[in-house]
Structure 1
Amino acid sequence: MRRFGSHPDLRKPHRSCLVLHGSVEELAGHPTRSRRRVEARAALELALRLGDLVVVPVSAILSHVLFYGSAAPDPSQRVVFGAVLLSAMVCFMIGPVYRAWRGRGLVVDLWILLLAWSCSFGLFSFYAVLVDMAGAVPTRWLLTWYVSGLLGMVGVRVLLRVQLHRLRARGLDRERVLLVGLRSSGLKLHRLLRGKPELGKEVVGYFSAKGDLATRRGGDAPRCLGALADLPRYMDQHRGEFDQLWVSMTPGDAGDMKAMLKQIERFPVPVRLIPDTTGWGTLNPGVHQVGNVPMIGVRQGLADHKFRLAKRVEDILVAGLAVIMLAPVFAVLAIGVKLSSPGPVLFRQRRHGLGGKEFSMLKFRSMRVHAEGSSDKITQATRNDPRVTRFGAFLRRSSLDELPQFFNVLGGSMSVVGPRPHAVQHNNHYERLIDRYMHRHYVKPGITGWAQVHGLRGETPELRSMKKRVQYDIDYIRRWSPTLDVRIIVMTAFKVLGQKSAY
């Protein structure tokens, strides 16, 4: 293997890279920065714990005053109060409620809080049943305490984040990072951090390697600190003045990367690899570990198991409420289908779901029996389609024919929000014509979706219409969050119901 620094590209920086050995000290920071960051993190965690410690009992007392007119609970209510507090302590300690926020968004943090707080009341409920005191539990007080306590803790986190963002925007409490190499992924990350100082990380500069983008990017690139061969000397001169080393190189640089890591192994600084996946057609790339073997996920749906759990909880809650609240509507529509034409109330069609596996999707029947047969010919419903009954046309226009799919959601084959499932014949046809068409199946199909609320539903007479749908579906998978799902559900009520493009 070639010795590190022997290649001329490693000994010399690019023409655009100004070697800054004389001025680099002003970039490296001060040794006390690390200590200040530790103190800032400790102060943040303390403020968060104190905020929760105040909010939880205060919300309990206010809820008690609301229902009982007194702040002093009776002995049995004191037992309930203590049991819930103990449950909260256990759930908050087990969950990552108080772990560092750096790199973690507010939505994720609030979901973790919701799960931990719900776990607290769930654990108490289990205890109440176990000791046979469930009948004595003041339900209204507990429910009000749950909601008010949750809102209070959300408020604490929002206020602390606002303050933290202000501090980081002023350059405080930031982790300082050195870049090794500058491929497209490293440059993208630098831009992200520069545009979002609240993430709490700052790229001090980079050390150039062959194949870097700096010569073509100019002002977009971070400041160049020297050639790759200068890295060990720089790290030796500035120990403790930066927090992490990020390597932005490609698999083709494996030899240089190994030599570089060998040269800097005496420096106990965390080293992270930024994989350059440009042109790979990635979808939600992420890092996984099986045993002690790390892997990079190149294409996947919701990468984090916490996100998958959150989406499943969301599906069960929304679908369960919909089935209960819409039960009378289900009955009326079932009668209407039976009266419109002979045949079953529900129509089952094979569709591709998560992972491309087939499942039976439920709909209220809108066509005459045998009109929606299993022919290999792809025939979408069109305007004034003779196969559609008069009542079926109403169901399609109002999207009420989709309501039985809430049972698909409860069964786990669908989600409330996701890419709409197409007929198996359509999938077999379009997967050969549209790039990344089957990427839609990295998540469960949905009753409504990102494409549908943008008007892309019903007949697709042109290939470009289906391509646009697929683009929106993939964009949804990349951008998924609970708030996006809520937004789509709300938009569905205004934009999809009654839309004229469904026949």
Structure 2
Amino acid sequence: MFHDRIPDVFEKLPVPRSRREVWAALLPRRRRAAFRAGLSAATALADLVGILGIAALVDVAYYLSLHGGLPAVSTSGSFELAALVALFVLLTNLVREDYSVETLLTDRPHLTRVAAVWVGAWAIALVIGFATKTTQDYSRLVSLGIFVTGLPGLILVRAAMLGVVRRAVTPASASINRVHLVGYEEDITRFYANNDAEALGLRVIGTSYLRRIDPLGDDTSRRAQLSEDLDLAVSVVRFLRPDDVFVLVPWSEASDIERCIDAFLRVPAALHLRPGSVMDRFPDLKLARVGRLSGINIGRRPLSIGELFLKRCLDVSLALVALVLLAPLFLVVAVLIRLDSPGPVFFRQKRYGFNQQPFGVFKFRSMRTDGDTVFRQATRNDNRITPIGALLRRSNIDELPQLLNVLRGEMSLVGPRPHALAHDRSFENRIALYARRHNVMPGITGWAQVNGLRGETLTDLDMERRVQHDLHYIDNWSVWLDIRIMVMTVFSPRAYRNAR
């Protein structure tokens, strides 16, 4: 067995002259945890100050331009509105752990996430204001000014804090995690080949290589050899005093892992087991407890409780506004449908929703009622489509009654489009992960539809491409993505492709 006690970076340091200097160089700072907590708190405080500061500036500018003086605190409601929005922003970021140092050091799309939280917080504030009939207490011009200027201001604040955190947490800083690696030579070599320690926010201060045990040797000698290696590794870890010890022994070596656990539980460091190559597929791997049962969680619910709340607030608020504004259009379309062909104005058909629960989807009727009880997908130049129905389908207006499904909690504004039951049963057996589309609520529009993947599916490849886009939406959901899809649904030419 051999060890890399001190990496190359430490060879450049001056040689310490006393035991105290040795410990000062190698021991973690006592205030490390407090320093990292301070960085997280500073980022949250920067968001709060940024939102309230922008609100104050907008309020002052408004009163100076219209009244020639500063606003009185007692008469200005902008501070209360900004405080409410700031509360939702901070709570959402805390739930998503966006203020943790580990999250701030990752390559996540931080600025996009800030924009999504900002829009979601305002949507919630509007819903609360509408429900409590307090929207008239705030100046609409000031509120609009805070919303428009607050987003770029908040993005600049977050970008600045990201720079501060990443400059503060460097391989040479006392706040970085100091780790020691233990494993067979090929496993440690693979770790270095596949990971950049500095990019991961780690400083590797030592490695201990275990010798491969001769498979032909007797059990006693094999156990003695591993015990010798582990005893020496424990001694090195006791001297270096790392924050974390990573055991890189493969999961297939269950008995060796058990011996490593027993050995390193004796040292004052956090102990970690490196997942195997199969588990590397899952970036959010973590230990979870269900009741009194522990397990490795490789997949979570598609949306957390906080994300579900944000999405539902956005759905309800926008659906209510849309139904009120589109009421005249609904009336005109209903009259045209009744004049065009006999039959009901609305068409309702069973679809599978969240968790494959069936529900009736509302649509404006675009086909003749010929009494055919067998479902047939609409095709190009389908003679069942009425002239008015063709116009409704090309313009996506036939989907608008599904706003009622949104209010009933059966659908969302954005999500995988629900297919007929016959299609669901057929494709579920032929396309991998097709049923995963039902892990979220279906939507009136979706990522597949705004990319032109709609209409007739002639081959399994057509449906596979649609499913791939739906799964991309599930895995990358954000409020900002929902808003982007809704805008593309109205203005993007691709959203109207293949509509018939």
* TM-score of the two chains, using structure 2 as the length reference: 0.74
Is 1:358 equivalent to 2:358 in the alignment?
yes
1:365–1:144 Cα change, 3 Å: closer
What is the percentage of aligned positions where both structures have the same residue? 30
Deviations 1:204-261 (A, max 9, x none): 67666899xxxxxxxxxxxxxx97776423321211xx43345566664444333322
Q: Given the alignment, which residue of 222, 235, 238 partners 1:236?
A: 238
Q: Residue type of the partner of 2:52? A: V
Preserved CA contact (<8 Å) 1:111 1:310: no
Q: How does 1:223-372 map to 2 (within 5 A)?
A: 231-239=233-241, 242-246=242-246, 252-273=252-273, 275-276=275-276, 278=278, 288-291=288-291, 293-370=293-370
* Partner-residue secondary structure (3-state), 1:360: strand
1:233–1:481 Cα change, 3 Å: farther
Preserved CA contact (<8 Å) 1:302 1:443: yes
Alignment gaps of 5+ in structure 2: 14-24, 213-227
Deviations 1:1-60 (A, max 9, x none): xxxxxxxxxxx6xxxxx8424647839984356746743652563465267347515633
Deviation at residue 117 of structure 1 after TM alignment: 8.2
1:186–1:314 Cα change, 3 Å: farther
Cross-structure match for 2:67: 69
Q: Given the alignment, which residue of 35, 41, 64 partners 1:45?
A: 41
1:61–1:204 Cα change, 3 Å: same
Q: Distance in 2 between matches of 1:188 and 1:327?
A: 63
Deviation at residue 351 of structure 1 after TM alignment: 0.7
1:141–1:457 Cα change, 3 Å: closer
Cross-structure match for 1:26: 10
Q: Distance in 1 between matches of 2:473 and 2:399?
A: 21
Deviation at residue 458 of structure 1 after TM alignment: 0.8
Preserved CA contact (<8 Å) 2:340 2:386: yes
* Partner-residue secondary structure (3-state), 1:459: coil
1:495–1:210 Cα change, 3 Å: farther
Q: Residue type of the partner of 2:10? A: E
1:146–1:272 Cα change, 3 Å: farther
Aligned length: 460
Is 1:59 equivalent to 2:55 in the alignment?
yes
1:468–1:202 Cα change, 3 Å: farther
Preserved CA contact (<8 Å) 1:367 1:392: yes
Cross-structure match for 1:155: 156
Is 1:421 equivalent to 2:418 in the alignment?
yes
Preserved CA contact (<8 Å) 1:351 1:359: yes
Deviation at residue 63 of structure 1 after TM alignment: 0.7
* Partner-residue secondary structure (3-state), 2:103: coil
Q: How does 1:91-170 map to 2 (within 5 A)?
A: 97=94, 99-103=99-103, 105=108, 106=110, 107-108=112-113, 137-140=137-140, 143=143, 147=147, 152-168=153-169
Deviations 1:468-487 (A, max 9, x none): 22222222222222233233
* Partner-residue secondary structure (3-state), 2:458: coil
Preserved CA contact (<8 Å) 1:340 1:390: yes
Q: Distance in 2 between matches of 1:120 and 1:310?
A: 11
Deviation at residue 308 of structure 1 after TM alignment: 2.2
Preserved CA contact (<8 Å) 1:87 1:121: no
Preserved CA contact (<8 Å) 1:287 1:296: yes
1:328–1:155 Cα change, 3 Å: farther
Cross-structure match for 2:457: 460
Deviation at residue 360 of structure 1 after TM alignment: 0.9
1:160–1:471 Cα change, 3 Å: same
Deviation at residue 146 of structure 1 after TM alignment: 5.4
Deviation at residue 161 of structure 1 after TM alignment: 1.5
Preserved CA contact (<8 Å) 1:415 1:444: yes
Preserved CA contact (<8 Å) 1:419 1:444: yes
1:355–1:187 Cα change, 3 Å: farther
1:468–1:243 Cα change, 3 Å: same
1:58–1:303 Cα change, 3 Å: closer
Q: Distance in 1 between matches of 2:151 and 2:395?
A: 37
Q: Residue type of the partner of 1:336? A: L
- Over the residues paired in the alignment, what is the CA RMSD in angstroms? 4.6
Q: Residue type of the partner of 1:309? A: F
Preserved CA contact (<8 Å) 1:52 1:153: no
Cross-structure match for 1:450: 447
Cross-structure match for 1:410: 407
Preserved CA contact (<8 Å) 1:414 1:445: yes
1:75–1:407 Cα change, 3 Å: same
1:370–1:124 Cα change, 3 Å: closer
Greater shift, 64-73 or 485-494, is seen at: 64-73
1:421–1:272 Cα change, 3 Å: farther
* Partner-residue secondary structure (3-state), 1:420: coil
* TM-score of the two chains, using structure 1 as the length reference: 0.73
Deviation at residue 268 of structure 1 after TM alignment: 3.5
Q: Residue type of the partner of 1:452? A: Q
Q: Residue type of the partner of 1:236? A: R
Alignment gaps of 5+ in structure 1: 1-11, 13-17, 212-225
Q: Distance in 2 between matches of 1:450 and 1:335?
A: 32
Preserved CA contact (<8 Å) 2:361 2:402: yes
Deviation at residue 359 of structure 1 after TM alignment: 0.9
